[in-house]
Amino acid sequence: MDWQLLFLSFSTIFLSELGDKSQLATMSLSGNSSAPKYVFIGSASALMMASALGVFLGDSISIFLPTRLLKAIAAGLFAIIAMRLLMNDA
């Protein structure tokens, strides 16, 4: 098992999800629910499914595109999102 990759992916996703709209929605749902454990199960399942989709799509796309190009595309998309966020807050 590649422990370094496991820790890197866990910490990256964990930190990026803190304060995310999905976490805020989960807090709102659990605050209005009489059974918060089902909100936890539902939200955890949704995050796992979204992550699985990302992994399988990334693996499939990497067959057609080199990893370096895939990283450059991801970096470009993140930069575009960051610029749009900065421009909308100004």
Token couple for 48: 């796992």
Within a domain: residue 88?
no
The pLDDT of 3-28, averaged and rounded, is 86
Within a domain: residue 81?
no
Tally of domains in the chain: 1
Between 17 and 3, whose confidence is greater? 3
Question: Average pLDDT, whole number, for the chain?
Answer: 88
Domain span at residue 18 reads: 3-65
Q: Kindly tell me the sign of the dihedral angle through the C-alpha atoms of 49, 51, 54, 58.
A: negative
N-to-C CA span, the chain: 45
| Percent residues over pLDDT 70 in the chain | 98
